[in-house]
Amino acid sequence: MSLNTLLSSAYSPTTASEVHSSIAYKPLRLHPTTIPPPPPAPPSKPLTAAQKRAQKIHQIPKSVPPSTLHALHALWSNYAADLLRPTSSLAVAAQLMASAEFVGARMEVVRSACPSLVGIVGVCVVERRGVVYIACEETGRVRGVGKGVCVLRVEVGGGKEGEGRKVFEVHGRRFLVRAGERGGKKFKGRGMLEL
């Protein structure tokens, strides 16, 4: 039975001719068509300043849990030990520590032009161009200490001094640069500064 006889038996002659003309020239697909792949995602753009403020990316926390501080300091201790391992002289070690990263280091404010800052001990959680944020290990409270007015003590390694333990005094006025910029900078040995 042909298509024309089937349509003429089911429909009136005018309707049958309309149906025949509408389906006669359509392609017959023997295999299902594949779905085209979705277009690639556009490259991600960096966040704008307003988005960074909204997400509080650069905001310093008021407190840090002590367990986080211990883990951060353990990570920094391994970093400092690897950094100072090939050196035996203190001059070379001081040069390496001058360009080191201090986030995670246990710091103590030894001298300061502001007497209320002397004696602050804790782990450095954020370092900016002119400020070091130190979190107390017991309470986790974060305090900002200006670099320009302080001398900070940093200890590397454990045990007694000379037996793998090194103590460095960092003059904040010499480090008034960001940590990333300090990595490529050469520091010269200079005398003590007045605060």
Q: Is 30 within the bounds of a domain?
A: no
- Length in residues, the chain: 195
Give pLDDT, residue 53. Answer: 92
Q: Is 31 within the bounds of a domain?
A: no
Q: Is 22 within the bounds of a domain?
A: no
Q: Is 146 within the bounds of a domain?
A: yes
- What tens digit of pLDDT does each residue of 111-127 get? 999 899 999 999 999 98
Q: What is the dihedral of CA 120, 167, 146, 111, to 10 degrees?
A: 70
- What tens digit of pLDDT does each residue of 96-152 get? 887 888 899 999 999 999 899 999 999 999 988 889 999 998 888 999 999 888 999
The first and second tokens of residue 21, run together, are: 């003309």
- Exposed/middle/buried for 62, CB within 10 Å: 0-12, 13-18, 19+? exposed
Give pLDDT, residue 159. Answer: 58
- What tens digit of pLDDT does each residue of 6-15 get? 777 888 888 8
Rounded to the nearest integer, the mean pLDDT of the chain is 83
- Number of domains into which the chain is organized: 1
Cβ atoms within 10 Å of 133's Cβ, excluding its own: 19
Q: Is 113 within the bounds of a domain?
A: yes
Q: CATH code at 145?
A: 2.30.30.210
Residue 20 has pLDDT above 60, yes or no: yes
Residue where the block lists tokens 């409270």? 141
- What tens digit of pLDDT does each residue of 58-69 get? 888 899 999 999
Q: Is 67 within the bounds of a domain?
A: yes
Q: Is 23 within the bounds of a domain?
A: no
Share of the chain above pLDDT 70, in %: 87
**Phi, psi at residue 133, to the nearest 5°?**
-100, 120
Task: Please give the residue range of the domain that contains residue 115.
Answer: 63-182
Q: Is 154 within the bounds of a domain?
A: yes
The first and second tokens of residue 10, run together, are: 């089911």
* 156 neighbors 164 (Cβ within 8 angstroms): no
Give pLDDT, residue 183. Answer: 66
